[in-house]
Chain A
Amino acid sequence: MGSGATGPVGRVWQLRAGVRAYGLIVMMWIRSTMTYRASFAMTTFGNFAATAFDFVTILLMFAHTEALGGYSLPEIALLYGLAGTAFGLTDLLLGSVDRLGRRVRDGTLDTLLVRPVPVLAQVAADRFALRRLGRVFQGLLVLGYALVVLDVDWSPLKVLMLPLAVVSGAAIFAAVFVTGAAFQFVAQDAAEVQNGFTYGGSTLLQYPPTIFAKELVRGVTFVVPLAFVNWLPALYVLGREAPAGLPGWLAFLPPVVAVGCVGLAGLAWRVGLRSYRSTGS
């Protein structure tokens, strides 16, 4: 059987080949962008500013109030910083997978299918743009601000919670991105549905869960588990109760949820790709 076949050995091979190809293509994109330096500088700044405007909006709100949904500005900054950093990382690493539908439509997906590297790696690396670091920086900056001004009773577990939340959160967002892309194999024009979940999700998480309807909070815990990105871990760090009457131990689950989501997303991708290869649409 060929090296691209299924089975555990095949999977590991595919993963390694995928990461390697991803790196190769990413380097090509970086060099491509460097041919337009003025634009690169501007877009990096733009990316930083784009997300900064989100936070400026929150600051403007706090110009009129002391608290939002019972949360102070530093507390919201913690939520914002964790979600922003996690989302920024995902956006940086595979932010262009939402262009899959376009590739299906214009037929360029076919050119990826005749190469000896996994299609997902090629799609994930597509249009890789270092300017998206702007978003990550912005998230980290707000996170830093929150950690400086917040009065938290730190414990080792709480400290550990932060990097864990960022990494798990990025993985959960990645799963949402890939699932959305897989959906576009079926509905090529549905990129906006994905935006609703990704950009919409990251906006949602910038605010405390107390301001949203209970059903909505439950929905983003159990259906699309975005609550594990920052709400549950951050609320634990802040010493607050879990939202919407959920049990407190959920705060420790983000890594588990992330692994589960990534697995499901991988499955969705395979189903999507298989359906494309059988329908060609």
Chain B
Amino acid sequence: MRLYMAVAVGGFRRYATYRVATAAGVFANTVFGFIMAYTYIALWDERPRLGGYDQAEALTFVWLGQALLMTCAMMGGGFGEELVDRIRTGDVAIDLYRPVDLQLWWLAGDLGRAAFHLIGRGIAPMVLGGLVFELVLPADPLTWVAFLVSVALGVVVSFAVRYLLALSAFWLLDGTGVLQISMLTGLFFSGMLLPLTLFPGALGEVARALPWSSLLQIPADVFLGKHTGWGLIRAYAFQAGWAVLLLGAGRALQTVATRRVVVQGG
């Protein structure tokens, strides 16, 4: 446990050292936040209360999306590229012989990363957005806590998905294609491009049932006070359920992959 704690702290520190990169990222988040905010204003001007949100809630959704984009790694990233690289070069063989659990190792590092991104990349865009647009912030401190729990669950689900996809590099040798697909699905089905409540009919139902809704849609709804009481428990259960299921699948795949490690150029 102490080891994984250290790995998590390492993950945090590793990203914290890149100050310029963080500032640059906040800039990009803010630019996208502005663009999306204006498109949402145009849309909600036409259709107030669309998808169950009023305009202020919709704008809050936009900026929450920018704040959580990196934290929940909706575009992929984090450890994914590194693990794929290690698989491609065969370095992963070394990892497999170490007396640590591969999945927990990467999970710990990713949680550390997420914690940094929440602070470094999450707060500033939210504040900047709040200065220009009217946002809805929870008055009850408990809602903030509930939101953070939901974000944490979202990070674990996000990790589990990315881990599964990265492992596919064992079979494909070059994982860039997979990483790209994961970026797409992450962006679209998390609600990053448009809240999932706006997706029509069956598409909407499917999208809300997929794991990616844990990344933004659910945390945002918790933030906006749409899930309370039993509803909140149900939301958590949904996220935790996906987390367990996907982590288990990742573990199973890891076992299979371990058996067929091919060291490139060995």
Residue contact A193 to B24, C-beta cutoff 8 Å = yes
Per the bound structure, the CA–CA distance linking A175 and B176 in Å amounts to: 27
Known A-B contacts A47-B180, A200-B32; A189 and B42 likewise in contact (beta carbons under 8 Å): no
Known A-B contacts A36-B173, A60-B200, A64-B47; A193 and B184 likewise in contact (beta carbons under 8 Å): no
Q: Which of B159-181 contact A (CB under 8 A)?
A: 172-178, 180-181
Q: Which residues of B contact A56 (CB under 8 A)?
A: 188
Q: Is B263 an interface residue (CB 8 A)?
A: no
Q: Is B31 an interface residue (CB 8 A)?
A: yes
Q: Is A53 an interface residue (CB 8 A)?
A: yes
Q: Is B240 an interface residue (CB 8 A)?
A: no
Known A-B contacts A43-B180, A193-B27; A211 and B173 likewise in contact (beta carbons under 8 Å): no
Q: Is B34 an interface residue (CB 8 A)?
A: yes
Pick 6 A–B contacts, CB within 8 A, sort by A. Answer: A63-B200, A64-B46, A190-B24, A192-B25, A192-B27, A211-B39
Least Cβ–Cβ distance between A248 and chain B, in angstroms: 24
Per the bound structure, the CA–CA distance linking A51 and B180 in Å amounts to: 12
* Identity of the chain B residue whose Cβ is nearest the Cβ of A211 in the assembled complex: B42
Q: Which residues of B contact A54 (CB under 8 A)?
A: 193
Instruction: Write the residues of chain A forming the contact surface with B, with a CB cutoff of 8 angstroms.
Output: 36, 38-43, 46-47, 49-50, 53-54, 56-57, 60-61, 63-69, 187-193, 195-197, 199-200, 203-204, 207, 210-213, 216
SS class of chain B's interface: helix, strand, loop or mixed?
Answer: helix
* Identity of the chain B residue whose Cβ is nearest the Cβ of A198 in the assembled complex: B28
**Among B19, B174, B175, B194, contact of A61 (Cβ-Cβ < 8 Å):** B194
Q: Which residues of A contact B24 (CB under 8 A)?
A: 187, 189-193, 196
Known interface pairs A46-B184, A190-B20; 11 further A-B residue pairs with C-beta atoms within 8 A, sorted by A's residue number: A38-B172, A39-B172, A42-B178, A57-B193, A187-B20, A192-B27, A196-B32, A200-B28, A200-B31, A203-B32, A211-B39
* Identity of the chain B residue whose Cβ is nearest the Cβ of A66 in the assembled complex: B46
Least Cβ–Cβ distance between A180 and chain B, in angstroms: 10
Q: Is B56 an interface residue (CB 8 A)?
A: no
Q: Which of B23-77 contact A (CB under 8 A)?
A: 24-25, 27-28, 30-32, 34-35, 38-39, 41-43, 46-47, 50
Q: Which residues of A contact B183 (CB under 8 A)?
A: 50
Residue contact A61 to B43, C-beta cutoff 8 Å = yes
Residue contact B43 to A68, C-beta cutoff 8 Å = yes
Q: Which residues of A contact B194 (CB under 8 A)?
A: 57, 60-61
Q: Which residues of A contact B42 (CB under 8 A)?
A: 68-69, 207, 210-211
Least Cβ–Cβ distance between A138 and chain B, in angstroms: 12
Least Cβ–Cβ distance between A124 and chain B, in angstroms: 20
**Among B21, B174, B188, contact of A192 (Cβ-Cβ < 8 Å):** B21
Residue contact B38 to A64, C-beta cutoff 8 Å = no
Least Cβ–Cβ distance between A64 and chain B, in angstroms: 5
* Identity of the chain A residue whose Cβ is nearest the Cβ of B26 in the assembled complex: A192
Residue contact A39 to B31, C-beta cutoff 8 Å = no
Q: Is B111 an interface residue (CB 8 A)?
A: no
Residue contact B188 to A53, C-beta cutoff 8 Å = yes
Per the bound structure, the CA–CA distance linking A204 and B32 in Å amounts to: 8
Q: Which residues of B contact A65 (CB under 8 A)?
A: 43, 46-47
Per the bound structure, the CA–CA distance linking A66 and B178 in Å amounts to: 36
Residue contact B181 to A196, C-beta cutoff 8 Å = no
Least Cβ–Cβ distance between B37 and chain A, in angstroms: 10
Residue contact A189 to B18, C-beta cutoff 8 Å = yes
Q: Is B119 an interface residue (CB 8 A)?
A: no
Residue contact A60 to B178, C-beta cutoff 8 Å = no
Residue contact A50 to B180, C-beta cutoff 8 Å = yes
Q: Which residues of B contact A67 (CB under 8 A)?
A: 46
Q: Which residues of B contact A42 (CB under 8 A)?
A: 177-178, 180-181
Residue contact B198 to A60, C-beta cutoff 8 Å = yes
Q: Which residues of B contact A64 (CB under 8 A)?
A: 43, 46-47, 50, 198
Residue contact B180 to A189, C-beta cutoff 8 Å = no
Per the bound structure, the CA–CA distance linking A64 and B58 in Å amounts to: 15
* Identity of the chain A residue whose Cβ is nearest the Cβ of B175 in the assembled complex: A39
**Among B34, B173, B199, B200, contact of A216 (Cβ-Cβ < 8 Å):** B34
Q: Which residues of A contact B87 (CB under 8 A)?
A: none
Q: Is B187 an interface residue (CB 8 A)?
A: yes
Q: Which residues of B contact A197 (CB under 8 A)?
A: 31
